[in-house]
Structure 1
Amino acid sequence: MDLKTAYERLGLPEDATRDMVEKRYDMLLRQERRRIREGGGESPEFAEITRAYRFILEQEEKQAVTELTEQQYGKYKQFAGLAEKIDHFFSYYKWHTLGAILLIGAIIYGINAYIEHKEEQARLAALPPIDVDGMILGQFFVSDGSADTENLEAVMLGHFPDWKRVELQLLTFSLEGRSQLDIAMLQKASVLLATEKPDIYILDSETYPWLAQTGILMELDEWAAGRFSSLLPEGAAVKAFGGEENGEHIYGIDLSDSPLIGELPLYKERFIVGIRRDAERADNALHLIETYLRSIP
């Protein structure tokens, strides 16, 4: 690939500035992400665009190094190469001093990190107790396109006047592994499922049976037949296979038709809530499901 081809793939002239290149690539990246969210796979065209973008940056870096070398050693003319080698020789012996400086820097960094950790612990200790802790898994997207759940938590908290704090984690991925991002997020989800214990899992129609078969979800048959029976729309009590040990049961309640769920700043295909078997706040999790069911006409 040459520079002319690289700029053409980005739709830019050859004299485009670094700022123009960055802005153009950011725009194309947002368009690609939007297309993937709408159901498209990764496009070969965008892979070529990324390759062109990286090529341009590499060429700019090489040019910058060449100009810096010329600026430093050009005055020596035919002895420029020798001058550069001598400079590198003396620079080599600076590494011992530099190593000591780096060691001191690492110690300072460690102290600062410890102080920040203690401050974060103090901040968390000052917060009110968690009323419900949740993990969102699947094809879900916050309205602003980020993974920040702060606004989502605030809206959900507003549905429960007696609650003081809701914590949510969002992991967006497809089980089909349509992109490297999907694969990375799926790996992260697997780690979090093994190490963290939220009260509820918010799932789509793809991740619900996948998670249910791990045996991690509480059976809700009793609640569907009792406390929730008069509130459940047809098909809202969703059965799934809970593994050989647990068999088929109702492990999730589909709350997609709840008007309150519609108020959440979250793109979703379905909104199925399951409760972890050993949930610390199972009563609050059940209250959450009941509240959203009651809002369904």
Structure 2
Amino acid sequence: MDDLKQAYKVLGLKEHASKEEVEKRYSTLVRREKARSKSGDRAGDEEFRQVTVAYRLILAREDEKFTQAFNEKEYGKYKNMAGKAQKLDHFWRYYKIHTLGAIALIGIIIYGIMSYIDHKEHERYLASLPPIDLQVTFMGTFMEENGQEKDLVMNTLMEPFPEWKRLEYSTIFVPQDEMNRYAYLQKALVTVMAEIPDLYLMDKYMFEWLGPQGALLPLDDRPELSAYADGPAALELKTEDDPEGSVYGLDLSKSDLFKDLPMMKVELIAAVRTNAERPDNAVKFIEHYAKTIPSP
């Protein structure tokens, strides 16, 4: 049965009756059918089957009208592209999470590839550089001025050593203010454990913090610095492995380095890392600037 007019006629309704009227009429016919079937009368089975088919046809057409009205409201503005807009909207509603997940996955893959390429490029760049002659770490209240040229500090450190081709440095800032110092010290501790420079340039607080941890090389064992081991610039410390105490740092605050170094600073104490890769160059650096300290 595909004739809508006939469907209304089967239900005993006027054409274009409301959905509520259709529902009410069908409920009445269902109750009658139940009463008839209880009496054992099978003569009306085919008639009720047609009633059910008619009812379903009318509801299906009502649903089509509703869907068409909805689509017209939602996608009518797209005119000839309404069909494609509807399909796209349905796709987005049902597959939004899958689509976003796929986009995120693609983004992660692209990021991983770019990071790998950047890493390889950086490795090639480092391989093209000459070997490091000295690795320096500033630790304490040290700060470069805003807008300062990038290589100014490095060039100042390398200037007395024309035979050196490459010097690298890093800065671990730890403020003088005790209220703010703790968090910075935690970061400094992690860096000390992870990185091994040849030379530390520190303020007095950081020297006294780092020295007892056994991270510094005794300087009074180095013949190049013997002339300064008993002088006013020598700084002694005691450690667990060295209870008698030794010279672990030289105060260069009165040297030319303190005057020439383009950084904000309070004090300048030089020390060599215990397991430094280039301790001889670190000692050479300290010796050069120790010679510029005025005699008492």
For the structure 1 residues 184 and 151, does the alpha-carbon distance in structure 2 shift closer, same or farther, using more than 3 Å as the test? Answer: farther
Unaligned runs of 5+ in 2: 1-88
**2 CA distance for matches of 1:267 and 1:232?**
27
Q: What SS class does the counterpart of residue 117 from structure 2 fall into?
A: helix
Matched, 1:280 2:277: yes
**1 CA distance for matches of 2:287 and 2:112?**
47
Q: What SS class does the counterpart of residue 130 from structure 1 fall into?
A: coil
For 1:51-70, what aligned pairs fall within 5 Å after superposition? none
Structure 2 counterpart of 1:265, which letter? P
Contact 1:200 1:273 (8 Å CA) reproduced:
yes
Structure 2 counterpart of 1:96, which letter? H
Residue 245 of structure 1 is matched in structure 2 by: 241
Residue 78 of structure 2 is matched in structure 1 by: none
For the structure 1 residues 129 and 207, does the alpha-carbon distance in structure 2 shift closer, same or farther, using more than 3 Å as the test? Answer: same
TM-score by length of 2: 0.63
**2 CA distance for matches of 1:112 and 1:126?**
21
Deviation string, structure 1 residues 163-205 (Cα, Å, up to 9, x no partner):
11111110111375423xx444322211111111111111111
Residue 122 of structure 1 is matched in structure 2 by: 124
Residue 33 of structure 1 is matched in structure 2 by: none
For the structure 1 residues 136 and 260, does the alpha-carbon distance in structure 2 shift closer, same or farther, using more than 3 Å as the test? Answer: closer
Contact 2:132 2:168 (8 Å CA) reproduced:
yes
TM-score by length of 1: 0.63
For 1:93-108, what aligned pairs fall within 5 Å after superposition? 93-108=95-110
**1 CA distance for matches of 2:134 and 2:104?**
44
For 1:111-260, what aligned pairs fall within 5 Å after superposition? 111-144=113-146, 150-174=151-175, 177-179=178-180, 182-223=181-222, 226-230=223-227, 234-242=231-239, 244-247=240-243, 248-260=245-257
Structure 2 counterpart of 1:126, which letter? S
For the structure 1 residues 201 and 145, does the alpha-carbon distance in structure 2 shift closer, same or farther, using more than 3 Å as the test? Answer: farther
**2 CA distance for matches of 1:197 and 1:234?**
28
Find the structure with the greater CA-based Rg: 2
Contact 1:259 1:296 (8 Å CA) reproduced:
yes
Contact 1:149 1:168 (8 Å CA) reproduced:
no
Q: What displacement does 1:158 show?
A: 1.4
CA RMSD of aligned residues (A): 2.5
Q: What displacement does 1:227 show?
A: 2.9
For the structure 1 residues 125 and 135, does the alpha-carbon distance in structure 2 shift closer, same or farther, using more than 3 Å as the test? Answer: same
Q: In the comparison of the two structures, how many residue pairs are matched? A: 204
Deviation string, structure 1 residues 104-149 (Cα, Å, up to 9, x no partner):
1111111111000000011111111111101111111113388x96
The percent of aligned pairs where both chains have the same amino acid is 41
Deviation string, structure 1 residues 49-68 (Cα, Å, up to 9, x no partner):
xxxxxxxxxxxxxxxxxxxx
**1 CA distance for matches of 2:235 and 2:126?**
36
Q: What SS class does the counterpart of residue 171 from structure 1 fall into?
A: strand
Residue 86 of structure 2 is matched in structure 1 by: none
**2 CA distance for matches of 1:150 and 1:260?**
16
Q: What displacement does 1:91 show?
A: 5.7
Q: What displacement does 1:288 show?
A: 0.1
**1 CA distance for matches of 2:177 and 2:269?**
19
For the structure 1 residues 293 and 275, does the alpha-carbon distance in structure 2 shift closer, same or farther, using more than 3 Å as the test? Answer: same
**2 CA distance for matches of 1:153 and 1:233?**
30
Structure 1 counterpart of 2:171, which letter? L
Contact 1:261 1:292 (8 Å CA) reproduced:
no
Unaligned runs of 5+ in 1: 1-86
